[in-house]
C-alpha cells in the first residue's frame, strides 16, 4: 500500500466535540492542524453512527450552565444549519463549520494504528494511519499531538504512563470495594414494519437481559415509554466482570430478545424492528493517562481552585450503579468544578495533550470529564495551549507554571471561554474605568402584565429572583385562588456564590386567601439583605392556587418545582427543587413576580464588571421592552482619549437553554435573545459621532472586531434588532488598545 506524508504544527486524533474544538481553536490562533477521525462522520459519540446524548438536563445546581467559548459557537451553528433536525443535517453543519477554517484539514475514515517516538522515547514524532477514503497509508508528522479519541488510544500507542479499569473503592465512603465491575452502553434505533416480524436470539449472544442491573432495565423501559420508535440507549451494568467484553450486538440483541419474546410489551412489539445500532459500545474501564495532576471526585465536589485552571465542568458525579448514557445513578455537584492544565498533558510523553475522559483523573472523575460539553471545553484549552507551546517554545509542563499559564488564561478569556469559578481580572480592558450609560434599563421582573395561567402549577415550589438592594419589604405574585386556603411562604437566600439552590431561610409567613381572587398578591417580609444575590420564595398551597407566568422572562426569574416532579433522573442532595428552564432556544418562561422595593439589577454598570454570565446576580444589561423602531444604545465615556483597536461584545445566549440530547427541528433555531443587527460609533476629536462598523446578520453570542487604531473619548453601541426578543440583552462590551 502506498504511503503519503502530511505535516502540520498540531495533529489532533479524534473528531468528536473535543477534537473539533481543539482543531478549530488551534487553527484560528495561527497553527496548521490535521484532524484525523476513524469514522466517516464528525461528532464522535454524539455523531450519527453512535448517537449518544449531546447533553442532559439536570445534574448541576447552577442553571446558567451552557458552555461558552467556541463550543457555544458550534452549538448555535448546528442549531441554525440543521433545519432537518436529524443526524445527517448535524454532520453537514459540522463539516461546514470546519471546512471554512483556514489552516485546518480533516481526514475522515482514517484509522491511526502506529506511533513513532523520538527524543529518547519521550516525544511523538509521527503517527501512521490507514485512509479508507484514499486507499493509502498516511504518515502524519507534527510538533504537538492531541489525543481526543475518548479512550486514550493514541496515548496508549505512545506508551504514555497511565492506568485502566474501574477503581471500585471510589464509590464508598470507607474505601471498601463496591460490587459493580462492568459498565457498557450502546444505542439502538427502533422502527416499525408493515407486517409482523418475529425474532429468535442468535446463539452467539452471551447475555441475557434479565441478568442486567435493575437500573439499566428501568432506564430502557422509561426510554420506551417516552417514545417507542427512534433512538434508545442500552446499558449493560453487572456485578461480574465478563470473561470477554460484550459487543454492541450482544447488548442490543439481548435486549431485543427480551422485548420481543418475554416482556410485557410483546404484543405491541410484533411489528417492531431494530433498524440500526452503534457499532462499538461505550465503556467505563478505559485508559486514563497520567499527567502532573490527577483530578479526583473530592477535588470536584469541594470546588477546589487552581492557578493553572483552564476549563470548568458541570457534569454530575457517578454513583456505583450510574448509567453511562443517561442521568440515572448520578449525583449533582453543588457547583461547577475547575480543571487544571496539569491534567491535560502526559507526564511521560512531552508533546502529547489529552482532552476527554482519558485525561489525568481517577476512574470516577473520568465519567464526568467524558461528558461531551466538558470534553469540548478541554479541547479548546488544549488547542490553545498547544499553540502557545509552539509560539513560546515551551513544553506543556512549563506552560502550566505561573507566568506562562497567565497568558493562556488571558487568551482563553478573550475567546469568551470560562476557565475558573471566579471571574478573572482583565487589566487590559479600557472600558473598565469608563462612565457607562444606556438608553433605557429594565427596572422590573415582569415587563408586561399580559401573563397566562401556568398549565401545571406545582403544589409546592419556589420562585427565584435576584435581590441587589439593601432591603426587601415584600414579594408580589400574580395568582388565581380557586379555594379558600392558608398558604405558607418562606424566603431563602442562595447557598453559595455559583449556585441557585436555596440556603439560609430568612423568614416564614402564612397568609389566608379567599376563593376567586385573580391578580397580584403581596407577601410582606421587611428584612435587611446582608448578601445581595439570588433569593427564593418558597410556597406550599396544594391545588388551591394557580400561578401566572410570563413568556421570555428576564434573566434570573425562574420557577423551581419539587424534585419528585422534576423527572431529571439525577440525585441532588443540595436542593429539594429543580428549575424549570426553556426547551427551545429562547429565554425561559417564569412566574409573574415583583419585589418591594424594585430591584435595580439590569443596569448598564454590569457591562464593565468583567462577568460574562450570571453568578450571584444576573450580571447583564437589559433594556426596557421595545419594538426597536428606535434603536437602544449604550455609551461609554472617558475624560481623556483612549487608543482602541479591538472590541469584544458578549450577547445573551440564553445560557439556561441546554442543547437537546439528539438533533431536533426548531421553528426558530437561532437564540432569540442574541443581538442580530448593531452598529458601533466613536467620537472624533471635535465631538462628532462617526460610524466605526456595522453588523447586520449576527447569529453568534460572542463577537470580536479588530480595526485600525482610533483615538477617542467615547464609544456608542447601537442595537437595532435581536432575533426575536423585544429587549436588548448584553453581558459585556470590552475595548482593547
Which CATH number belongs to the domain containing residue 49 in this structure? Answer: 3.50.50.60
Are residues 332 and 374 located together in one domain of the fold? yes
CA dihedral 66→70→76→78, nearest 10 degrees, is -120
The C-alpha atoms of residue 102 and residue 671 are separated, in whole angstroms, by 27
The C-alpha atoms of residue 192 and residue 39 are separated, in whole angstroms, by 28
* Cα 5 from chain centroid (whole Å): 37
Look-up of cell digits 402564612: 510
The answer on pLDDT for 419 being more than 60 is yes
- pLDDT class of 279 with cuts at 50, 70, 90: confident
The answer on pLDDT for 189 being more than 60 is yes
Bridge partners of 522?
Answer: 476
Q: What's the pLDDT score for residue 565?
A: 47
The three cell numbers of residue 227 are 417514545
Of the residues 577, 596, 615, which one is the last residue of a structural domain? 596
Are residues 606 and 592 located together in one domain of the fold? no
The C-alpha atoms of residue 101 and residue 112 are separated, in whole angstroms, by 23
Output the pTM of the full model.
0.94
In a domain, 425, yes or no: no
Closest residue by Cα to residue 318 from 339, 303, 289, 296? 296
Q: Calculate mean pLDDT across residues 25-47.
A: 96
Phi, psi of 536 (to 5 degrees): -135, 130
In a domain, 330, yes or no: yes
Q: What's the pLDDT score for residue 566?
A: 45
pLDDT, greater one: 678 or 180: 678
Q: What is the DSSP letter of 603?
A: S
pLDDT tens track for 233-251: 999 988 766 667 889 999 9
Range of the domain at 679: 430-441+602-736
The C-alpha atoms of residue 470 and residue 487 are separated, in whole angstroms, by 27
Over pLDDT 90: what percentage of the chain?
A: 81
Q: Calculate mean pLDDT across residues 373-390.
A: 98
Number of domains forming the structure of the chain: 4
Rg (CA), the chain: 27
Are residues 258 and 112 located together in one domain of the fold? no
The C-alpha atoms of residue 54 and residue 37 are separated, in whole angstroms, by 18
In a domain, 420, yes or no: no
In a domain, 38, yes or no: yes
Flag the least confident range among 139-153, 201-215, 494-508, 708-722. 494-508
Q: Provide the 10 A C-beta neighbour count for residue 455.
A: 7
Q: Calculate mean pLDDT across residues 381-408.
A: 96
How do strand 309-313 and strand 337-340 relate by DSSP bridges? Answer: antiparallel
Long-range contacts of 508-512 (CB under 8 A, 24+ apart): 510/486, 511/486, 511/487, 512/484, 512/485, 512/486, 512/487
Alpha carbon of 682 to those of 605, 645, 710, 711: distances in Å?
19, 12, 8, 9
Encode 481-512: b = buried (16+ Cβ within 10 Å), e = exposed.
bbeebebebbbbbbbbebbbbbbeebeeeeee
Alpha carbon of 210 to those of 216, 236, 259, 307: distances in Å?
10, 11, 11, 49
Flag the least confident range among 308-312, 427-431, 552-556, 575-579. 575-579
Q: What's the pLDDT score for residue 492?
A: 95
Bridge partners of 719?
Answer: 632, 678
Q: Are 498 and 558 in contact (CB under 8 A)?
A: no
- The CATH number covering residue 559 comes to 2.60.120
The C-alpha atoms of residue 634 and residue 720 are separated, in whole angstroms, by 12
610: left (phi over 0), alpha (psi -120 to 50) or beta: left
The answer on pLDDT for 138 being more than 80 is yes
Q: Calculate mean pLDDT across residues 644-658.
A: 96
Are residues 240 and 347 located together in one domain of the fold? no
Are residues 33 and 153 located together in one domain of the fold? yes
The three cell numbers of residue 540 are 406550599
The answer on pLDDT for 2 being more than 50 is yes
Collapse the DSSP code of 221 into the 3-class scheme (helix H, G, I; strand E, B; otherwise coil) and give the result.
helix
Are residues 503 and 552 located together in one domain of the fold? yes
In a domain, 476, yes or no: yes
Flag the least confident range among 277-286, 392-401, 574-583, 641-650. 277-286
Are residues 620 and 509 located together in one domain of the fold? no
Q: Are 194 and 271 in contact (CB under 8 A)?
A: yes
The three cell numbers of residue 119 are 527524543
Percentages helix, strand, coil for the chain (3-state, rounded to 5) are: 20, 35, 45
Where is 144: in which H helix or E strand? strand 136-147
The answer on pLDDT for 253 being more than 60 is yes
Q: E strands, 205-318, where?
A: 230-238, 272-277, 282-283, 288-289, 309-313, 317-318
Are residues 142 and 199 located together in one domain of the fold? no
* Cα 297 from chain centroid (whole Å): 19
pLDDT, greater one: 573 or 272: 272
In a domain, 174, yes or no: no
- The CATH number covering residue 672 comes to 2.60.120.260
Q: Calculate mean pLDDT across residues 454-483.
A: 94
Q: Provide the 10 A C-beta neighbour count for residue 101.
A: 16
List CB contacts of 579: < 8 A, sequence separation 6 or more. Answer: 63, 464, 500, 558, 559, 560, 656
Are residues 639 and 730 located together in one domain of the fold? yes
Closest residue by Cα to residue 349 from 156, 113, 138? 156
Bridge partners of 180?
Answer: none
The answer on pLDDT for 69 being more than 60 is yes
The C-alpha atoms of residue 276 and residue 261 are separated, in whole angstroms, by 19
- pLDDT class of 646 with cuts at 50, 70, 90: very high
Query: What angle in degrees, to the nearest 10, is found between the helix axes of 372-392 and 17-28?
Result: 30
Are residues 148 and 227 located together in one domain of the fold? no
Are residues 204 and 67 located together in one domain of the fold? no
In a domain, 543, yes or no: yes
Of the residues 283, 318, 334, which one is the last residue of a structural domain? 283
Q: Calculate mean pLDDT across residues 574-590.
A: 93
The C-alpha atoms of residue 233 and residue 323 are separated, in whole angstroms, by 10
How do strand 352-354 and strand 518-528 relate by DSSP bridges? Answer: unpaired
pLDDT tens track for 551-580: 999 999 999 998 864 455 788 888 888 899
Are residues 635 and 554 located together in one domain of the fold? no
In a domain, 220, yes or no: yes
The C-alpha atoms of residue 256 and residue 278 are separated, in whole angstroms, by 14
Of the residues 240, 263, 283, which one is the last residue of a structural domain? 283
List CB contacts of 398: < 8 A, sequence separation 6 or more. Answer: 404
CA dihedral 691→696→698→702, nearest 10 degrees, is 10
Amino acid at each position: 500500500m502506498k504511503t503519503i506524508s502530511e505535516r502540520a504544527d498540531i495533529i489532533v486524533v479524534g473528531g468528536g466535540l473535543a477534537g473539533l474544538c481543539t482543531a478549530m481553536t488551534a487553527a484560528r490562533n495561527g497553527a496548521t492542524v490535521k484532524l484525523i477521525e476513524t469514522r466517516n462522520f464528525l461528532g464522535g459519540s454524539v455523531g450519527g453512527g453512535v448517537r449518544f446524548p449531546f447533553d442532559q438536563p439536570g445534574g448541576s445546581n447552577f442553571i446558567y450552565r451552557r458552555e461558552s467559548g467556541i463550543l457555544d459557537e458550534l452549538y448555535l451553528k448546528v442549531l441554525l444549519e440543521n433545519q432537518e433536525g436529524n443526524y445527517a443535517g448535524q454532520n453537514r453543519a459540522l463539516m461546514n463549520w470546519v471546512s471554512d477554517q483556514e489552516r485546518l484539514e480533516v481526514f475522515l475514515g482514517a484509522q491511526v494504528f502506529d506511533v513513532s517516538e523520538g527524543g529518547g522515547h519521550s516525544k511523538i514524532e509521527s503517527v501512521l494511519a490507514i485512509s479508507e477514503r484514499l486507499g493509502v497509508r498516511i504518515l502524519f508528522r507534527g510538533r504537538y499531538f492531541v489525543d481526543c479519541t475518548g479512550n486514550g488510544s493514541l496515548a496508549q500507542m505512545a506508551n504514555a504512563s497511565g492506568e485502566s479499569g474501574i477503581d471500585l473503592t471510589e464509590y464508598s465512603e470507607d474505601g471498601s470495594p463496591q460490587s459493580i465491575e462492568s459498565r457498557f452502553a450502546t444505542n439502538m434505533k427502533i422502527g416499525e414494519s408493515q407486517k409482523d416480524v418475529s425474532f429468535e436470539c442468535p446463539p452467539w449472544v452471551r447475555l441475557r437481559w434479565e441478568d442486567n442491573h435493575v437500573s439499566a432495565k428501568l432506564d430502557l423501559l422509561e426510554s420506551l415509554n417516552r417514545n417507542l420508535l427512534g433512538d434508545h440507549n442500552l446499558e449493560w451494568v453487572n456485578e461480574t466482570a465478563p470473561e470477554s467484553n460484550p459487543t454492541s450486538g450482544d447488548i442490543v440483541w439481548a435486549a431485543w430478545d427480551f422485548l420481543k419474546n418475554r416482556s410485557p410489551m410483546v404484543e405491541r412489539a410484533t411489528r417492531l424492528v431494530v433498524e440500526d445500532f452503534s457499532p462499538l459500545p461505550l465503556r467505563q474501564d478505559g485508559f486514563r493517562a497520567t499527567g502532573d495532576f490527577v483530578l479526583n471526585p473530592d477535588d470536584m465536589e469541594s470546588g477546589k481552585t487552581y492557578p493553572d485552571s483552564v476549563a470548568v465542568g458541570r457534569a454530575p458525579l457517578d454513583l456505583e450503579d450510574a448509567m453511562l448514557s443517561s442521568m440515572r445513578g448520578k449525583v449533582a455537584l453543588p457547583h461547577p468544578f475547575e480543571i487544571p492544565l496539569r491534567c491535560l498533558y502526559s507526564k511521560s510523553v512531552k508533546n502529547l495533550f489529552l482532552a476527554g475522559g482519558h485525561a489525568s483523573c481517577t476512574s470516577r472523575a473520568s465519567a464526568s470529564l467524558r461528558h461531551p460539553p466538558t470534553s469540548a471545553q478541554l479541547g479548546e484549552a488544549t488547542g490553545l495551549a498547544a499553540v502557545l507551546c509552539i509560539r513560546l517554545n515551551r513544553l506543556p509542563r512549563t506552560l502550566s507554571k505561573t507566568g506562562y499559564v497567565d497568558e493562556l488564561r488571558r487568551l482563553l478569556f478573550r475567546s469568551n471561554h470560562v476557565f475558573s469559578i471566579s471571574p478573572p481580572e482583565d487589566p487590559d480592558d479600557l472600558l473598565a474605568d469608563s462612565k457607562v450609560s444606556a438608553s433605557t434599563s429594565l427596572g422590573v421582573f415582569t415587563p408586561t402584565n399580559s401573563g397566562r395561567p401556568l398549565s401545571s402549577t406545582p403544589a409546592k415550589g419556589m420562585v427565584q429572583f435576584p435581590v441587589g438592594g439593601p432591603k426587601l419589604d415584600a414579594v408580589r405574585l400574580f395568582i388565581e385562588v380557586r379555594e379558600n386556603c392558608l398558604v405558607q411562604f418562606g424566603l431563602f437566600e442562595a447557598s453559595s456564590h455559583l449556585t441557585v439552590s436555596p440556603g439560609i431561610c430568612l423568614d416564614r409567613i402564612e397568609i389566608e386567601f379567599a376563593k376567586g381572587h385573580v391578580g397580584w398578591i403581596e407577601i410582606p417580609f421587611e428584612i435587611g439583605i446582608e448578601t445581595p444575590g439570588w433569593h427564593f420564595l418558597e410556597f406550599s398551597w396544594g391545588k388551591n392556587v394557580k400561578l401566572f407566568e410570563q413568556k421570555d422572562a428576564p434573566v434570573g426569574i425562574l420557577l423551581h418545582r419539587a424534585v419528585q416532579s422534576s423527572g431529571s433522573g439525577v440525585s441532588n442532595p443540595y436542593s429539594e427543587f429543580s428549575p424549570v428552564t426553556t426547551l427551545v432556544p429562547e429565554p425561559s418562561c417564569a412566574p409573574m413576580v415583583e419585589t418591594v422595593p424594585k430591584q435595580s439589577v439590569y443596569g448598564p454598570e454590569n457591562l464593565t464588571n468583567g462577568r460574562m454570565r450570571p453568578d450571584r446576580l444576573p450580571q447583564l444589561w437589559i433594556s426596557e421592552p421595545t419594538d426597536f423602531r428606535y434603536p437602544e444604545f449604550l455609551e461609554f465615556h472617558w475624560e481623556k482619549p483612549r487608543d482602541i483597536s479591538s472590541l469584544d461584545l458578549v450577547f445573551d445566549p440564553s445560557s439556561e437553554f441546554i442543547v437537546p440530547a439528539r438533533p431536533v427541528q426548531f421553528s426558530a433555531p437561532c437564540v432569540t435573545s442574541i443581538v442580530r443587527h448593531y452598529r458601533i460609533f466613536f467620537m472624533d476629536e471635535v465631538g462628532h459621532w462617526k460610524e466605526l462598523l456595522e453588523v447586520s446578520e449576527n447569529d453568534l453570542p460572542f463577537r470580536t472586531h479588530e480595526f485600525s487604531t482610533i483615538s477617542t473619548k467615547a464609544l456608542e453601541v447601537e442595537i437595532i434588532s435581536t432575533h426575536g426578543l423585544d429587549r436588548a440583552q448584553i453581558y459585556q462590551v470590552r475595548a482593547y488598545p
